[in-house]
Structure 1
Amino acid sequence: MRIDDVPLTGEPIRLGQFLKLAGLAEDGGHARELIEAGEVQVNGRPESRRGAQLRAGDVVAVGGRKARPVRAQ
């Protein structure tokens, strides 16, 4: 499965913010709904904390799509 790289200018980033930035959630409310419904995994494990800190290389999966933060060049 393809993993989309999402460049970040700073680390870490909160999970809720990353979901929006990566296009995995439409907005903050949608990100919260996805997380509360147990539909979000970070590095293959369910994540229930919207404020969980992500670092470059972490893989976030939602509904068959995957994305990971990478350091902007």
Structure 2
Amino acid sequence: MQRIEFPLDRDHVELHHLLKLVGVADSGGRGKMIVASGDVRVDGAVELRKTCKIRAGQTVQLEGIEIAVVAAT
């Protein structure tokens, strides 16, 4: 499984934006489609809310990719 570490420099990022920012989706719209497919898990649970707020300490998984969201230093 490929692991990506994403440094979060604010309180939260919306899930579909996170997918775009790490390069999993080529646009926010494509990120929304990926979330709607039911293939995205946040902290191990399927997440269907496209605008779910992702905060530092959370993990997002999909299609053999794990995104670890960490606080920016």
TM-score (norm 2): 0.89
> Structure 2: any 5+ residue segments left out of the alignment?
none
1:17 paired to 2:35: no
> Structure 1: any 5+ residue segments left out of the alignment?
none
- 2:2, 2:64 within 8 Å by CA — same for their partners in 1? no
Distance (Å, rounded) in 2 between the aligned partners of 1:25 and 1:39: 13
How many percent identity over aligned positions?
33
Distance 1:44 1:35, change over 3 A: same
**Aligned length, in residue pairs:** 73
Task: Indicate the residue corresponding to 1:61 in structure 2.
Answer: 61
TM-score (norm 1): 0.89
Q: 1:30-64 CA deviation, whole Å, 9 max, x = no partner?
A: 11111111111101111000111111111101101
Distance (Å, rounded) in 2 between the aligned partners of 1:46 and 1:58: 13
Taking only aligned residues, the RMSD between alpha carbons, in angstroms, comes to 1.2
- 1:24, 1:62 within 8 Å by CA — same for their partners in 2? no
